Amino acid sequence: MRVIIENLRDFHIVKKFEKERGFEEDNILHKCLLLGEEIGELFKAIRKRENLKIDTNSKVGDISEELADIMMYLCAIANRYNIDLERAFRDKEQRNQKRTWQ
């Protein structure tokens, strides 16, 4: 199945994926822990890409795969709290535009 995602609002499809794959009952803590693991995998992928020391026995995906995994877990957590990530992103950016950055 080819999925077309045109904006952040389209990531509600993650809810469908979770149901199809049997993950819709995972609790928030479990999703947060999985998100943390994926962030660690992203860091490993970046270390590998930057030719920094890395455990050669560990499985390391590429950066784009790890970012996609992170996005999936982020969407899953947002779905459980009924948060519209696009709206949250836009609202936060409006607040950020009013801040002073040093």
Specify the pTM: 0.78
**pLDDT score of 92 more than 60:** yes
Write the pLDDT tens digit of every residue in 56-74: 777 788 999 999 999 999 9
Write the pLDDT tens digit of every residue in 19-46: 888 988 899 999 999 999 999 999 999 9
Q: Greatest CA separation found in the chain?
A: 47
CATH 1.10.287.1080 holds for 8-81: yes
CA gap 56, 87 in Å, rounded? 41
For residues 55-71, one letter each, b for 16 or more C-beta atoms within 10 angstroms of the residue's C-beta and e for the rest, the string is eeeeebbebeebeebbb
**pLDDT score of 1 more than 60:** no
